[in-house]
Amino acid sequence: MLINELSKRTGVSIHTLRYYESYGLIAGRTDEAVKSNNYKQYDESLIGKVEWIIQAKKAGFTLSEIRKSMDDWYNKRLSVSKKIEIVEKKIEEIDSKIRELKQVRKFLTEAIKEVENDMC
């Protein structure tokens, strides 16, 4: 597919996709058979990759961290156990972020209590 379709199917703008490509997060390939242009082809697997990027960003990972894990995941030949290890580490990081948020939540509920006490 061309960049336009990738953009539409992922909801990520063409500009941002090109930025991701220049950043090394995704890569299209120019069809050698076609001589008239240098339009890049993006294959189906990129949909999953872009979705992964979106999810990882939501989890608070930087593009650089995402690039590193995608590199580990897709480009290097990793053993199944190694892959599981990587994902489990990410899950732990997410759990720690969740814990942090819960702490902030607690901080806020305590703020409410204080306000309520002022009332009395």
Contact residues toward its own copies (CB under 8 A) are 55-56, 58-60, 80, 83-84, 87-88, 90-91, 94-95, 97-98, 100-105, 107-109, 111-112, 115-116, 118-119
Question: Any bridge partners for residue 30, and if so which?
Answer: 40
CB nearer its own copies, residue 33 or residue 119: 119
Contact with DNA (CB under 7 A): which of 9, 40, 86, 90? Answer: 40
27 in contact with DNA (CB under 7 A): no
- Residue 14 backbone phi and psi in degrees, to 5: -55, -45
Cα dihedral 3, 21, 17, 55, rounded to 10, equals 120
CB nearer its own copies, residue 38 or residue 109: 109
CB nearer DNA, residue 24 or residue 84: 24
4 in contact with DNA (CB under 7 A): yes
DSSP state of 40: E
SS3 content of the chain, % helix, strand, coil (to 5): 70, 5, 25
79 in contact with DNA (CB under 7 A): no
16 in contact with DNA (CB under 7 A): yes
Q: From CA 78, how far away is CA 2, in angstroms rounded?
A: 30
